[in-house]
Structure 1
Amino acid sequence: MDQLTAVKKRVQSIDVLRGIVMIIMALDHVRDYFHADAFQHDPLDPATTTPILFFTRFITHFCAPTFVFLAGTSSYLVGLRKTKSALSSFLLKRGLWLILIEVVLISFGWTFNPLYNTIIFQVIWAIGISMVMLGLAVRLPYGVIFALGALIVLGHNLLDFPEAAHNHTVPFFWDLLHDGRFDTYTFAPGHTLVIAYAFAPWAGIMFLGYCAGKLFAPTVDSHKRQQALVGIGLGLIVLFVALRLMNDYGNPLSWTPQKTAMASFLSFMNVHKYPPSLMYTCITLGPALVALALLENVQNRFASFVKVFGRVPFFYYVLHLYLIHILTVIAFYASGYGAKDIVSPSPFFFRPIQFGYSLGVVYLIWALVILILYPLCRWYNNYKSSHSQWWLSYL
């Protein structure tokens, strides 16, 4: 097997895992728009949730950290065929482009509000600003980048203590950097910015993903790479369990015994995503790295199917968001709602608080969304593979 073939085979495992988490991500977004209870209760609250609802939400926790981590890994692989200067320029431009897309295209996809009264900084913003930070850092020695990533991921929960002491009343830039609890800021009359993803922890995850790209260098033996991925992944899972049992550091909220063993387990597993705590990062990236190792040599119809989505993640992300919201509009009118109900207390147009279906229907709509998107993503993947226009690297 020549070196180019080896690289392509290794990258395939990244595409497969990325495709899996992209598909799972759509489940959470379908639940947001279509589940009757989505705006009523927290699906992760042990006191009000059910095991199946908790699992439906919890499994989607794997999506954002896995995607951000693999974005860093892919950046390292891109750097194998670019100079440091060219890689830095590419990451800076792509990062700024993603931030612009978050404001102009993604926020509208979420809200369907043509006046842009609400701008939401979510995962695309987090990826974009993390790429900007990585673009500035790639000129540094590899060890320094790794140290920065590890320091951020392991240490950022130290900021939880002063934040809690001030009841999370923090300045705007602190909120943007770390707190990220869906606080709103008015930036013009009638227009607000919602910070859902504070960027520092996500940048740390991307830095570590970039460093993990070294495992995918053509000179690394496949067996050794898989051993390393499994070892690191299991180590992260063990670290999560140890930290959770200590119940002191690594997550803003402690777990507490509940009335039943199942509820206590759900409390134990309920870790903080906004911002991603150390425990959250461990219990999501740990299994993801193990899966990355196990998927390396998988060659079957399932892998071929999900790989299509993993190869065109940005294209998929934009399409899935608009498709889900368009289907919501159809269901909105089919349910008897009218023009007076378009605007609701939530920032999402056509999504009243009292609206939606059972969790079973949510899963059916999710399957429909994936089936509709598959031929579109396959077409775009084929087009991207057979064309070399510069703008394709940004889509």
Structure 2
Amino acid sequence: MNETTIKKRIDSIDMLRGLVILIMLVDHAREKFYLHKNVADPMNIDSTDPDLFFTRLLAHFCAPIFVFLTGLSAWLYAHPANKAPRSAQSFLLKRGLFLILIEITLVNFSWFAAYTTLYLQVIWAIGVSMIALAALLYLPRLWIAVIGLAIVLGHNALGFIEFAPHETGYTLWTILHDRAFLVSEGALKIRASYPVLPWIGVIAVGYAAGPLFSQTVDELTRRKTLIMGGTACLIALVLLRAFNIYGESQPWQMYDESIRSVMSFLNFTKYPPSLMFLLFTLGIGAFVLAYLETAKSKLCAMLKTFGSVPMFFYILHLYVLLITYFILSKVIGTTTVIGPNDYPYLGFPNVWLVWLAAIVLAALLYWPCKKFSQFKHSSQSTWVKYF
């Protein structure tokens, strides 16, 4: 297998990462400029318009694919092409701690320009998952795969476990499986918004899938395996979901409107991500990854650029959205007053304006991302690699 083939394979991972990063940009633009019609997960089918529903549904792909690729990238780090294997534990531990630090500092401030509540969200979940994977690496890869699959397939069965805030186990279970406040009073409240247990399962499955991207696996075999895996996920989803058997706490139902019935079927729980949520997103993600193995276009090159600097893009786009919102709210003024304390929000009147804003921001952010990507790959500084 030649160097070009190896490079193409890594490019497909960066392209998929770049794709979900841009989808994430759309969702974060929605959270800034369409908050007057905020949605929960699962969404309220009766009150959520289809354009808003499917915009939010698309964002569901971001976290599962990113966490899966993080596990896959950890295996590739531990097994570099044409080099001796190395331990990924230090790599995972340091980057996991770095992500947690970024979450509680730069990321939290970017949402509200304040620290009244500390939200432990997706970057926190990825950081904790990386640390958990570092611990799991003491085990053989087969055991990591078994544990990862057991968590992904079985965590929905743990929904009956509950702890009151005053009970022993509340803090740990809130972090692992429930979504609630760890500290609900005082100057600084802390809320665990992303329960981490399912994400530990996803990152472990991603790591276990790493050998599929080794030099010993040819492109055709890899693509067939990805397509088979994606097909298995979607078949399992349809069978389990059609009869509301298992894997989702929100049963679906038929509506008079066909589009509402489809929305109900695809209405999955994200916090924590249900089995249906993960089968849907990772199943389709496997098909996209297989396609990107051979995809060549200017768009693919752009996706690769974004995907090569994920943390740089993440922090940059959050602050660009924050500053843009602040400027527009001062120039235009707010249009809607909602929520506790009558906090004013500037809101776009249509979902398509959210998409337009995201496309414009993506175009504006491409150049700094490209420059930083070039700097990152030429720099010898260790800290640069974290971005």
TM-score by length of 2: 0.92
> 1:218 is matched by which residue type in structure 2?
Q
Per-residue deviation, 1:264: 1.5
Is the Cα–Cα contact under 8 Å of residues 43 and 57 in structure 1 kept in the other structure? no
Query: Superposition pairs for residues 182-331 of structure 1, below 5 Å?
Result: 183-186=180-183, 189-331=186-328
Which residue is 2:354 aligned to?
362
**Distance in 2, Cα, partners of 1:86 & 1:191:** 38
**Distance in 1, Cα, partners of 2:203 & 2:290:** 19
4+ runs deviating over 6 angstroms:
40-43, 82-85, 341-344
**Distance in 2, Cα, partners of 1:57 & 1:282:** 17
Q: Deviations 1:10-68 (Å, cap 9, x if unpaired)?
A: 11110111111100111011001101633378793210122211111101111110001
Which residue is 1:51 aligned to?
50
**Distance in 2, Cα, partners of 1:230 & 1:363:** 30
Per-residue deviation, 1:225: 0.6
Q: 1:59 to 1:342 in 2, by over 3 A?
A: closer
Which residue is 2:366 aligned to?
374
Secondary structure of 1:49's match?
coil
Q: 1:342 to 1:75 in 2, by over 3 A?
A: farther
Secondary structure of 1:193's match?
strand
**Distance in 1, Cα, partners of 2:321 & 2:375:** 24
Is the Cα–Cα contact under 8 Å of residues 229 and 292 in structure 1 kept in the other structure? yes
> 2:371 is matched by which residue type in structure 1?
W
**Distance in 2, Cα, partners of 1:96 & 1:157:** 28
Is the Cα–Cα contact under 8 Å of residues 65 and 284 in structure 1 kept in the other structure? yes
Identical-residue share of aligned pairs (%):
39
**Distance in 2, Cα, partners of 1:252 & 1:84:** 42
Query: Superposition pairs for residues 6-45 of structure 1, below 5 Å?
Result: 6-35=5-34, 37-39=36-38, 44-45=43-44
Q: Deviations 1:287-340 (Å, cap 9, x if unpaired)?
A: 1001101110111111011111011111111111111111111121123359xx
Secondary structure of 2:190's match?
strand
Q: 1:85 to 1:140 in 2, by over 3 A?
A: farther
Is the Cα–Cα contact under 8 Å of residues 79 and 85 in structure 2 kept in the other structure? no
**Distance in 2, Cα, partners of 1:272 & 1:248:** 15
Per-residue deviation, 1:160: 1.5
Is the Cα–Cα contact under 8 Å of residues 125 and 199 in structure 2 kept in the other structure? yes
Per-residue deviation, 1:215: 0.3
* Correspondence for 2:344 among 352, 363, 373: 352
Q: 1:132 to 1:36 in 2, by over 3 A?
A: closer
Q: 1:342 to 1:86 in 2, by over 3 A?
A: farther
**Distance in 1, Cα, partners of 2:39 & 2:144:** 42
> 2:121 is matched by which residue type in structure 1?
Q
**Distance in 1, Cα, partners of 2:242 & 2:377:** 48
Secondary structure of 1:37's match?
helix
Per-residue deviation, 1:361: 1.7
Per-residue deviation, 1:196: 1.1
Name structure 1 gaps, 5 residues minimum. none
Is the Cα–Cα contact under 8 Å of residues 73 and 212 in structure 1 kept in the other structure? yes
More deviation, 363-372/278-287:
363-372
**Distance in 1, Cα, partners of 2:144 & 2:318:** 33
Q: 1:324 to 1:289 in 2, by over 3 A?
A: same
Which residue is 2:101 aligned to?
100
Paired residue total: 383
> 1:371 is matched by which residue type in structure 2?
A
Is the Cα–Cα contact under 8 Å of residues 345 and 353 in structure 1 kept in the other structure? no
Which residue is 1:133 aligned to?
132
Is the Cα–Cα contact under 8 Å of residues 68 and 205 in structure 2 kept in the other structure? yes
CA-based RMSD of the aligned residues comes to 2.6
**Distance in 2, Cα, partners of 1:364 & 1:109:** 22
Per-residue deviation, 1:261: 2.1
Name structure 2 gaps, 5 residues minimum. none
**Distance in 1, Cα, partners of 2:341 & 2:374:** 39
Q: 1:354 to 1:314 in 2, by over 3 A?
A: closer
**Distance in 2, Cα, partners of 1:131 & 1:377:** 24
**Distance in 1, Cα, partners of 2:85 & 2:214:** 16
**Distance in 2, Cα, partners of 1:258 & 1:386:** 56
**Distance in 2, Cα, partners of 1:333 & 1:43:** 33
Q: Deviations 1:170-226 (Å, cap 9, x if unpaired)?
A: 81211110112xx22327722111211010100100110111111000111111010
